[in-house]
């Protein structure tokens, strides 16, 4: 081959590489980050195996997307940094909100939930307004007076939340100037302090609350106040992925919508939480 021919071949290869999508993958193997400490969404059983709603959901979705999924546990506060560092390709149980959209992309939601307070039945904040009623914080005319009343009841109290969650964001945004916010690595650690009276209330996923209160040993606890969604709360639960991974997003968006349409999300969520968490894709 002449020098001119070699130069032409090299140029063609360079142009071909430039046209190919950067970092394009075939997505036959997907690494999924999952906390393993947030029942009924996910937990480790007595043998150290992952179990819960997330595990059954991801098994179904990976089969639909025709990919092999490897579930990897990790601390919740490290999930997004680990995703962006390449340790995971997807994160389970990542609620959608504006702050997270700045650093990650989301699939469509695979579950739709609420958030609520968890308190001691005979504790200092046992009675909060709108107990068990749904309240959308985006309906400010209705929600703001209720949240002001809750703020009065919580003034001077200590509220426990899991760090790096939208529940932590909400408590700080609405009540941070008047309450003591204590953060925990996971919900179970927070609940131990709540039972011992070291904090006055917890604020967490309503699905978690429903499941936790049904277990022996939690008879002295109750959910209090409204079932909240909207504002910065990440109650629409999706999978997080790195910015620009459009092919992976398309695969799992399609799988989630198919699973929801076939009633799989409903049956699995009712199995694990007693609630139908089927998301709406019209929002």
CB atoms within 10 A of CB 103: 13
Q: Taking a C-beta distance cutoff of 8 angstroms, is the pair 68, 32 a contact?
A: no
Sign of CA dihedral 64, 102, 24, 68: negative
Residues 6 or more apart whose CB falls under 8 angstroms from that of 170 comprise: 115, 203, 228, 231, 232, 233
Supply the pLDDT for residue 24: 58
Residue (of 203, 239, 222, 249) closest to 32 by Cα position? 239
pLDDT score, position 267: 97
Backbone φ, ψ for residue 31 (5° rounding): -95, 125
Residue 57 · residue 197 · CB < 8 Å: no
pLDDT tens for the 283 residues of the chain, in order:
443 343 344 334 444 434 434 455 789 999 999 999 999 999 999 999 999 999 999 999 999 999 999 999 999 999 999 999 999 999 999 989 888 999 999 999 999 989 999 999 999 998 899 999 999 999 999 999 999 999 999 999 999 999 999 999 999 999 999 999 999 999 999 999 999 999 999 999 998 998 899 999 999 999 999 999 999 998 899 999 999 999 999 999 999 999 999 999 999 999 998 888 999 886 4
CB atoms within 10 A of CB 125: 17
Model confidence pTM above 0.75 = no
Q: If DSSP codes are grouped into helix, strand and coil, which group holds residue 59?
A: helix
**283 is written with which tokens?**
């929002």
At 219 the pLDDT is: 96
Domains and CATH numbers, the chain: 24-112+235-273 (3.40.190.10), 115-229 (3.40.190.10)
What is the total residue count of the chain?
283
Measured CA distances, 88 to 46, 101, 226, 282 (Å): 25, 17, 35, 29
Strands of the chain, DSSP E: 29-34, 37-38, 42-44, 50-51, 68-73, 90-95, 105-106, 111-112, 115-120, 134-136, 158-162, 180-184, 201-205, 221-229, 236-241
DSSP string, 166-193: HHHHHHHHHHTTTSEEEEESSHHHHHHH
Sort residue 240 into left (φ over 0), alpha (ψ -120 to 50) or beta.
Answer: beta
Omega of the bond leading into 40 within 30 degrees of 0 (cis): yes
CB within 8 A of 217, min separation 6: which ones?
Answer: none
Q: Helix 264-273 and helix 246-261: axis angle, to 10°?
A: 80
**Phi-psi sector, 212: left (phi>0), alpha (psi -120 to 50), beta:** alpha
Q: Write down the residue that tokens 């997807």 correspond to.
A: 90
Do strands 105-106 and 158-162 pair parallel, antiparallel, or not at all (unpaired)? unpaired
* Span 84-131, pLDDT tens digits: 999 999 999 998 988 899 999 999 999 998 999 999 999 999 889 999
């Amino acid at each position: 081959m002449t020098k001119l021919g070699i130069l032409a071949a090299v140029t063609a290869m360079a142009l071909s590489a430039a046209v190919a999508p950067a970092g394009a993958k075939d997505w036959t193997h997907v690494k999924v980050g999952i906390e393993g400490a947030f029942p009924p969404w996910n937990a480790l059983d007595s043998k150290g195996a992952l179990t819960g709603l997330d595990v059954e959901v991801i098994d179904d979705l990976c089969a639909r997307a025709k990919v092999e999924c490897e579930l990897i546990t990790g601390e919740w506060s490290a999930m997004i940094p680990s995703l962006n560092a390449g340790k995971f390709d997807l994160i389970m149980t990542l609620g959608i909100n504006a702050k997270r959209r700045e650093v990650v992309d989301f699939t469509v939601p695979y579950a739709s939930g609420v958030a609520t307070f968890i308190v001691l039945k005979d504790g200092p904040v046992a009675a909060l307004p709108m107990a068990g009623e749904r309240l959308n914080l985006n309906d400010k005319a209705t929600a703001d007076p209720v949240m002001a009343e809750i703020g009065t009841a919580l003034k001077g109290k200590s509220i426990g939340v899991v760090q790096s969650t939208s529940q932590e964001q909400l408590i700080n945004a609405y009540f941070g100037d008047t309450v003591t916010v204590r953060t925990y690595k996971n919900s179970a650690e927070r609940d131990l302090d709540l039972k011992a009276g070291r904090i006055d209330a917890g604020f967490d996923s309503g699905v978690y609350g429903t499941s936790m209160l049904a277990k022996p040993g939690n008879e002295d606890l109750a959910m209090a106040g409204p079932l909240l969604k909207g504002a910065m709360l990440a109650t629409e639960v999706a999978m997080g992925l790195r910015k620009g991974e459009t092919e992976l997003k398309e695969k799992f968006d399609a799988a989630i919508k198919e699973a929801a349409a076939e009633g799989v999300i409903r049956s699995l969520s009712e199995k694990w939480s007693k609630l139908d968490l089927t998301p709406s894709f019209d929002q």
